[in-house]
Structure 1
Amino acid sequence: MTQQSSQSKPESADHNGELIAARMRALLVRAPLAAGFVQGTRFEVVSEHFNHLFGHGDDTDLSGQDCRAVHVSDTAHAGMLERQAAAFGAGRPLDEEVEYVRRDGSRFWGRLQATPVHWDAPSGEALWIVEDVTAARQLRLQPTWTAKHDPLTELANRREFERRLSEHVGSRRHEPVSMLWVDVDRFKEVIQSMGPEVADHFLYGLGQMLVTKVRASDLVARMEKDCFAVLLPDCDQHYASIVAEKLRSSIAAYRLRWGLHRTRVKACVGVVQIHPSLETIEAVIGASTLACAEAKAAGGDSVRVFVSSGGYEQLAG
């Protein structure tokens, strides 16, 4: 009985190993993700989508090839490896845009997100995920885009937000329009404990998350270092408060996982519906920031609504 039990254990372990390998192969073939595992300077195994991204197909495969094959030069390849080693050594992934070359010689810009398979062995095998960002990069380089967007978060900047807000201030149209001011609580602590680079990635991720929580017709902007604003057309104070609470709870639930770094924050949200008494964009923004300040004074992680009939002092929520 004892002998049979001892023999079954390695058989079970082998079966589990084969099952895991089969799952990984199925994932690499079916998942619409350009992912590859890299050991040193060589691709160990890559996904089908990864092959297609670089111009390979059924007759050719990047698996087993040198990573130099996808870089435009020896210098570019060596530089990327140096930056990857430095990032992994600092306990963070490598996240950057790289110019790549396809099998046919054509070039494209890809966003490389590289991370060690095991953080306790940062010089070991790494996972690469590559996304084609050529079109997005070209768009960001256009003067019209840079004039309207925040370069870090890729959201609208303050100038563009104020321009869009001005279209509603003083308007005689009858549909309600509201604005939210979102201020991250104690963000300086994130910068002090994790450094500005991690903080920048956190702000980018946070901004992209906010976009997913509002309508396509709404506008999310980065107004200051750790402050965002949301313009809500055709939205009254009641529904704006619901959106504000949704954003507040989403921020509280958001987790930054960046290499070995883990952090979370909370935020306060000020709500204001545009009324005739708020005659300028400065007045509207001032009302929303005052409501947000009241939320912070109440202890943070909360929502406050500016009540226009009571002036700047009367707040509810």
Structure 2
Amino acid sequence: MSPAASAAAAPADFTAARLRALLTRAPAAIAFVAGQRFEVVSDEFNHLFGFGDDSDLAGQGTRVIHTTEPAHAGLHERAAAAFAAGRPLDEEIEYVKRDGHRFWGRLQATPVHWDAPAGEALWLVEDVTAARAQRLQPTWTARHDTVTELANRREFERRLSEHVGSRRSEPVSVLWLDVDRFADAVNGLGTSVGDHFLYGLGQMLTAKVRASDLVARLEDDHFALLLPDCDQHYAQIIAEKLRAAVAGYRLHWGLHRARVKASLGVVQIQPSLASVDAVLGGAALACTEAKAAGGDSVRVFVPAGGYEELAG
């Protein structure tokens, strides 16, 4: 091999070595699929489907992990339609392991190259059997929003009612978050894309607060946060952090991109706000003032009926 050819081959070999290391060590079930056949799979992907050292899914047809031929064919039809529309495929599918055991997996599939959507695809699969069973429970569906999987308004109000009128001494605050011009940002992208963006925003908000805080989707693009043991001062700091986080967040779904900002209202529970409606009303009014100021800002509810500006 000539020196020039060796130099050209070296980066390719190094890239292949990186890929092999990633697929061996990454704690994720990853596979590359082409022509309804597994080309390369990670160790975790093999283990998820009951394959191991003495066997490998690489080189086998994707039919082997599906329960029936119609289920297999339907998946590839849906994936092709999604890829052609510039969207990944993200859905829950019943799979079968090598020993015949069935489980539910969340498949996230996307083309390796969007300019060749019918070519090789990247699959990520996560076992969601337990989470799916939980979501199917009546108690879960009664308390959660089906799009974002956050608490719904009914559950948020129930949890808030435990603090309104309480004689406990620790402060409790509530944030109302309204995405600025969300409808304009997702106009023409379709309901599934808008729902994915809302889900992503909800997950991002949850990651920015404490485990003891409650994040809920009230309706449409309106979210609320219940912050126990948090006074107005720290609630303002959290609200500003969330405002900046939303402003820096990139809504990304296949070829679809969008950026949004948010307005937030802050209120600390106090004796003058003697009901759940009064607390939520104060937070919503402060948020309305933030939107009226141009959005991408935070306002704090003041009992006298005024507003304190924090950002924007």
Scaled to the shorter chain, the TM-score interval is over 0.9
Question: Which residue matches 1:176?
Answer: 171
Offset from partner CA, 1:202-255 (integer Å, 9 cap, x none) = 000100110011011100000010010000000000000000011111111111
Alignment match, 2:223: 228
Q: Which residue of 2 aligns with 1:23?
A: 18
Counterpart for residue 61 of structure 1: 56
Residue 8 of structure 1: how far off its partner (Å): 2.8
Q: Aligned partners of 2:291 and 2:248: how far apart in 1?
A: 18
Helix, strand or coil for the counterpart of 2:99? coil
Shift of 1:7: 4.2
Distance 1:180 1:297 in 2: 17
Whichever residue aligns with residue 135 of structure 2, its letter is: R
Q: Aligned partners of 2:200, 2:95: CA distance in 1, in Å?
A: 25
Question: Per-residue deviation at 1:314?
Answer: 3.9
Q: Please list, as runs of the form range in 1=range in 2, the aligned pairs for 1:262-277 lying within 5 A after superposition.
A: 262-277=257-272
Runs of 4+ in 1 over 6 A off after TM superposition: none
Residue 102 (structure 2) pairs with residue 107 (structure 1): yes
Tell whether 2:215 aligns with 1:217.
no
- 1:247-283, Cα deviation, whole Å (9 max, x unpaired): 1111111112211111110000100000100011100
Matches within 5 A, 1:156-167: 156-167=151-162
SS of the counterpart of 2:17? helix
SS at match of 2:295: coil
Structure 1: how far apart are the matches of 2:234 and 2:199?
26
Alpha-carbon distance, 1:191 to partner: 2.9
Please give the alpha-carbon distance, in whole angstroms, between the structure 1 residues aligned to 2:183 and 2:248.
19
Matched residue type, 2:45: F
Q: Report sequence identity in percent.
A: 70
1:201 aligns with 2:196: yes
Number of aligned residue pairs: 310
TM-score, scaled relative to structure 2? 0.98
Q: Which moved more, 1:192-201 or 1:287-296?
A: 192-201
Give unpaired runs (5+ residues) of structure 1. Answer: 1-5
Asked if the contact 1:306–1:316 (Cα under 8 Å) also holds between the matched residues in 2, the reply is: no
Q: Retained in 2: the 8 A contact 1:272–1:284? A: yes
Separation in 2, partners of 1:191, 1:19 = 40
Deviation at 1:197, TM superposition (A): 1.2
CA–CA separation in structure 2 for the residues paired with 1:47 and 1:191: 35
Q: Which residue number in structure 1 is paired with residue 76 of structure 2?
A: 81
Query: 3-state SS of the aligned residue for 2:187?
Result: helix
Match of 1:3 in 2: none
- Cα distance in 2 for partners of 1:126, 1:221 equals 34
* Structure 2 residues not aligned, in runs of 5+: none
CA contact (8 A) 2:300 2:307 kept: no
Q: Is the 8 A contact 1:307 1:316 kept in 2?
A: no
1:316 deviation in Å? 3.5
- Please state if 1:92 is matched with 2:92: no
Deviation of 1:315 after TM superposition, in Å, equals: 3.6
